[in-house]
């Protein structure tokens, strides 16, 4: 099992007096965001939140008390996974409203820097619009958000990934093998859709990189919701990805915190 950082500075663990001091001592709030959605037969429904929270803990540990971890957003925007048991999804409007309410509460108590760390790509578009709204509504608030795996492109490129890879595939499984191996059902990992030839015409269009962008349901992309071959993943690959992600976010935060 991978080593976890020391006690994380979670806002929920503070008293109200400690929280009042934290506004000055820890001016950056990290909000982990994830999803409650299928991740194939081998990974838990909470995979995206687990990764976001563990990365937030590592970033906070490296910021020497200058950041506090706020409440998580455990359910995200996941309509594309609803065909699979256990998946819950918020509408875009509801997810946006929850983020707005979290940020508004933090703002009320004096925090002016908020960074959402999202392990779920389905949250990205909503977070972009939240950022735009906050520019107009709270011009003195500095709001940022970041994905995870996309920050480690070189580490992912160094892996042996399938032609089709992504959700619950090599990179995501590797991260879980590093961050939370006890939650991985290693004996149940199996390849999903691994080649473009295995997709229908509309699904192939949806998997093209860049734009135009097309959304399709994951039960159309893969019978078990897996894109790629998670059996190729290793904890060492996951460590390389997580290290790159934490380095990138920490570097951004350190520069951001310079007054």
Span 109-162, pLDDT tens digits = 999 999 999 999 999 999 999 999 999 999 999 999 999 999 999 999 999 899
Q: How confident is the model at residue 3 (pLDDT cuts 50, 70, 90)?
A: very low
The whole-chain average pLDDT of the chain stands at 96
Q: Degrees (nearest 5) of the Cα angle 204, 47, 192?
A: 35
**pLDDT higher than threshold 70 for residue 4:** no
Query: Which of 180, 168, 54, 184 has the alpha carbon at shortest distance from 117?
Result: 54
pTM listed for this prediction: 0.96
Residue 63 has pLDDT above 80, yes or no: yes
In Å, what is the CA distance from 78 to each residue of 87, 111, 217? 8, 29, 10
Q: How far apart are CA 108 and CA 100, in angstroms?
A: 12
Output the pLDDT for position 5.
55
> Which of 82, 52, 56, 65 has the alpha carbon at shortest distance from 225?
82
- What is the average per-residue pLDDT within 83-102? 98
Q: Which residues lie closer than 8 Å to 211 by C-beta, 6 or more apart?
A: none
- Please state the rounded mean pLDDT for residues 173-190: 98
Q: How many whole angstroms from its chain centre is CA 196?
A: 26
Coil, helix or strand at residue 143: strand
CA-CA distance, 40 to 233, in Å (whole number)?
Answer: 14
pLDDT: which is higher, 239 or 8: 239
User: Looking at the predicted structure, is the pLDDT value of residue 256 above 70?
Assistant: yes
Predicted local confidence at residue 12, as pLDDT: 97
User: What is the predicted pLDDT for the residue at 8?
Assistant: 74
Average pLDDT over residues 61-74: 97
Cα 151–201–160 angle (5° rounding)? 35
pLDDT of residue 236: 98
pLDDT confidence of residue 259: 65
What percentage of the chain reaches a pLDDT higher than 90? 95
């Amino acid at each position: 099992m991978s080593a976890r950082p020391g006690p994380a500075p979670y806002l929920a663990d503070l008293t109200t007096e400690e929280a009042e001091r934290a506004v000055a001592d820890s001016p950056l709030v990290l909000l982990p965001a994830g999803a409650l959605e299928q991740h194939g037969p081998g990974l838990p429904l909470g995979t995206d939140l687990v990764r976001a929270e563990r990365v937030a803990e590592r970033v906070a540990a490296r910021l020497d008390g200058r950041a506090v971890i706020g409440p998580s957003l455990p359910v995200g925007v996941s309509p594309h996974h609803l065909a699979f048991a256990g998946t819950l999804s918020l509408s875009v409007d509801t997810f946006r409203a929850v983020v707005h309410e979290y940020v508004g509460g933090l703002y009320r108590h004096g925090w002016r820097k908020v960074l959402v760390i999202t392990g779920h790509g389905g949250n990205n578009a909503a977070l972009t619009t939240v950022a735009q709204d906050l520019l107009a509504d709270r011009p003195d608030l500095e709001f940022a958000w970041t994905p995870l795996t996309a920050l480690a492109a070189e580490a992912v490129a160094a892996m042996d990934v399938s032609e089709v890879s992504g959700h619950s595939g090599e990179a995501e499984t590797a991260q879980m093998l590093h961050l939370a191996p006890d939650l991985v059902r290693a004996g149940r990992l199996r390849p999903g859709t691994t080649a473009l030839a295995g997709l229908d015409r509309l699904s192939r269009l949806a998997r093209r990189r860049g734009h135009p962008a097309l959304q399709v349901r994951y039960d159309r992309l893969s019978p078990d919701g897996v894109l790629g071959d998670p059996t190729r993943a290793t904890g060492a690959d996951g460590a390389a990805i997580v290290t790159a992600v934490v380095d990138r976010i920490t570097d951004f935060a350190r520069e951001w915190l310079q007054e």
